[in-house]
Chain A
Amino acid sequence: MTGIWYIVGFAVAGVSFVFLTIGAAWLISHRNRGDLHKGLPYESGIDTFGDTHGRFGLSFYIYALLFVAFDIEVIFIYLWAIAFRSLLLGGFVSMLLFVGILLLGLAYAWRKGVLTWR
């Protein structure tokens, strides 16, 4: 049962990392004692305006959309890389085809100008 120690170790390390950083930040930082202006993001700049829940640009969404597709591709490429040695040419051609088909989507996005940031 050494496996369980790995799990326990990782769990402790992971949880303590979160709490240590938050705790350290809490200890180090100055406490804000009732001074409203010190609580603002920019102490001596322009007051912030608007809501934090503002609308995001559409470009973010399209990037995220493309990211999902290529993220799924990554899973398959990972599997392919594991078995690459035993797959020979057939595996290479399969992956070439897979990536090629998806590249068409990227080319479309590019040509339609959705990759230009605005």
Chain B
Amino acid sequence: MSWADLATIAPLAAAILVAGLVILTDIALPGRRVPALAVSFIGLAVVAGLAIAVGVHPATAFGGAYRVDDLTTYLDLLFVAVIALTLMFAPDYLAARDLPLPEFAAVLIFALSGVMLISASADLVILFLGLELMVLPGYLLAGFAKRDALSTEGAIKYFLLGSFSSAIFLFGLAFVWGLTGTTRIDGVAAALKAIAGGSTPLSPGLAMGLAFLTTGVAFKIAAVPFHYWTPDAYQGSPTPVTGYLSVVPKIGAFALILRLFVGALGPLSADWDIIIVLLAAATMTLGNLVALTQDSVKRMLAYSSIAHTGYMLIGLAAWSSPNSRIEGLEGLLYYGAAYAFMNLGAFAVIAALQRRTGISSQLETFAGLGRREPLLAALMTLFLLSLTGIPPTAGFFAKAYIILAAVQAGGPAGILAVIAVLNAAVAAFYYLRVVVYMFMRDPRGEPAPLVVGRLMRSGLIVTAVLTVLLGLVPGLLLPIVGNAARALTL
């Protein structure tokens, strides 16, 4: 370890330090919410600043095991923003249920250091540790409402299938390591290039490893048919946690896909791209069709998040065609950001509605919201329109970009473009149904008025502004996304 190494990992070290400081704050001032929250926000700002400062000069550390490039910086900043927003949405909800905030914040920031590790890893060992550090806090957060049976049930399902899929993934890594003899991502890529370059067919061991890796990752991103844990885990979790779970572990797993499948297994893309196409088609279609039948908005959004996994996979499928390498990755990265903000926003509105305990996320809860809470209803409409993909929102631009990339790629990915368009039409039905409930149905009885806290309100406004900005002025993010995509394909 040298000073240069330390400087390169500064954002990661800072994130871990912030989590430690939150715990120390809780040790010094047990159970106090404001100090823990203040430390978290200041710390996250420092982490973001360091990520920008370090990201200016791409570098490697620890003998090439850790690499900071434009992709790392982009993902780091996106995740810091998502974690900060989650921390803005959670306090009201947690306070109403007498759940502690310091532990919540600390565990959340541990997860942040996990995803930062994934996005900067150039070594399979670090990649796996980052994955574990990212998902472990997720299990805890899913069961955070520990006296709620549904929360515990969801957490246990999430934990069992999550650790099972981690084991499958690790087994796949072992196969790849055994056949390439290295854990460095560029080393693996070079060894695989030699294998793919020779006309020998894929060895059975490598094919098996690839199958395990794909299965493990498909579990993590909740791609059909590996999505069974998703609805229960999402519905049972405390609502702000659901928002977090639908964004960070999913996009974190996509970061892992970028580092592993594009970075290390890229030379074999001819062997895995058809699997990705099939996964994407099944995931989009099934996610949307099942979402149609849901009465609970939380569960509906869980299935919708499965469908969005499918859209994001299109970007990966487009990458594997030489016509649209950069465009596919750009689409995937842009979609990740757009999805993060609009989905977080939608879950935040549900969390705001559930300010008091005992309020379900059934469709009826939303009846008449347009008259009762015009601001919340308007924001929810915006997020739902964006999730549907209606201009001028972030969701529209992201979807359009990724579909165009697929069209440009042609072949099987081109078929995906058609499926995606059809799916977007189906999805409109269930998203807009919530809007209909909010504005055209009368509530049963007279629900008590809501108080939306200041932190929650500013968080909602930030997500809304970002959702509109990413749709209206995509030029803001596109160059950054482009650099990130090119950093990977160099």
> Is the A/B pair a real complex?
yes
Over the window 51-88 of chain A, the binary record of Cβ atoms lying under 8 Å from chain B Cβ atoms (1 yes, 0 no) is: 00000000000000000000000000000000000000
CB-CB nearest in chain B for A93: B1
Residues 67 to 118 of chain A near chain B (Cβ within 8 Å):
90, 93-94, 101, 104, 107-108, 111-112
5 smallest beta-carbon distances between A and B, as pairs: A111-B27, A108-B23, A107-B27, A104-B23, A104-B20
A108 contact set on B, CB distance < 8 A: 23, 26-27
Q: Determine if B415 is an interface residue (Cβ-Cβ < 8 Å).
A: no
Q: Determine if B391 is an interface residue (Cβ-Cβ < 8 Å).
A: no
CB-CB nearest in chain A for B2: A90
The count of chain B contact residues (Cβ–Cβ below 8 Å) is: 8
B20 contact set on A, CB distance < 8 A: 101, 104
Q: Is B26's CB under 8 angstroms from A94's CB?
A: no
B27 contact set on A, CB distance < 8 A: 107-108, 111
* A-side interface size class: under 10
CB-CB nearest in chain A for B27: A111
Interface residues of A (CB under 8 A from B): 90, 93-94, 101, 104, 107-108, 111-112
Bound-state Cα–Cα, A101 to B30, Å: 19
Shortest C-beta distance, B203 to chain A (Å), equals: 34
A94 contact set on B, CB distance < 8 A: 1
Q: Is A111's CB under 8 angstroms from B30's CB?
A: yes
Bound-state Cα–Cα, A104 to B19, Å: 11
Shortest C-beta distance, A11 to chain B (Å), equals: 31
Bound-state Cα–Cα, A55 to B57, Å: 58
CB-CB nearest in chain B for A111: B27
Q: Is A90's CB under 8 angstroms from B24's CB?
A: no
B1 contact set on A, CB distance < 8 A: 90, 93-94
> Could you tell me the dominant secondary structure of chain B's interface residues?
helix
A101 contact set on B, CB distance < 8 A: 16, 20
Bound-state Cα–Cα, A104 to B20, Å: 7
Bound-state Cα–Cα, A29 to B250, Å: 63
CB-CB nearest in chain B for A110: B27
Interface residues of B (CB under 8 A from A): 1, 16, 20, 23-24, 26-27, 30
B26 contact set on A, CB distance < 8 A: 108, 111
Shortest C-beta distance, A110 to chain B (Å), equals: 8
Bound-state Cα–Cα, A112 to B23, Å: 11
Shortest C-beta distance, A86 to chain B (Å), equals: 15
Bound-state Cα–Cα, A90 to B20, Å: 22
Shortest C-beta distance, B23 to chain A (Å), equals: 6
Please name 14 further chain A to chain B contacts, defined as beta carbons within 8 Å, in addition to the given A93-B1, A104-B23, A111-B26, sorted by A numbering: A90-B1, A94-B1, A101-B16, A101-B20, A104-B20, A104-B24, A107-B23, A107-B27, A108-B23, A108-B26, A108-B27, A111-B27, A111-B30, A112-B30
Bound-state Cα–Cα, A112 to B1, Å: 35
Bound-state Cα–Cα, A113 to B24, Å: 15
Most chain B CB within a 10 A radius of its CB, from A93, A107, A108: A108
A107 contact set on B, CB distance < 8 A: 23, 27
Bound-state Cα–Cα, A54 to B270, Å: 58
**17 A-B pairs in the complex with CB atoms less than 8 angstroms apart:** A90-B1, A93-B1, A94-B1, A101-B16, A101-B20, A104-B20, A104-B23, A104-B24, A107-B23, A107-B27, A108-B23, A108-B26, A108-B27, A111-B26, A111-B27, A111-B30, A112-B30
Shortest C-beta distance, A104 to chain B (Å), equals: 6
Bound-state Cα–Cα, A101 to B110, Å: 12
Bound-state Cα–Cα, A111 to B27, Å: 6
Bound-state Cα–Cα, A111 to B30, Å: 8
Bound-state Cα–Cα, A115 to B27, Å: 14
Bound-state Cα–Cα, A93 to B16, Å: 17
Bound-state Cα–Cα, A104 to B26, Å: 11
A112 contact set on B, CB distance < 8 A: 30
Bound-state Cα–Cα, A4 to B27, Å: 55
A111 contact set on B, CB distance < 8 A: 26-27, 30
Bound-state Cα–Cα, A112 to B26, Å: 9
Bound-state Cα–Cα, A101 to B16, Å: 10
Bound-state Cα–Cα, A93 to B20, Å: 18
Shortest C-beta distance, A68 to chain B (Å), equals: 14
Shortest C-beta distance, A47 to chain B (Å), equals: 37
Shortest C-beta distance, B1 to chain A (Å), equals: 6
Shortest C-beta distance, B426 to chain A (Å), equals: 46
Bound-state Cα–Cα, A108 to B16, Å: 16
Bound-state Cα–Cα, A101 to B27, Å: 14
Shortest C-beta distance, A100 to chain B (Å), equals: 9
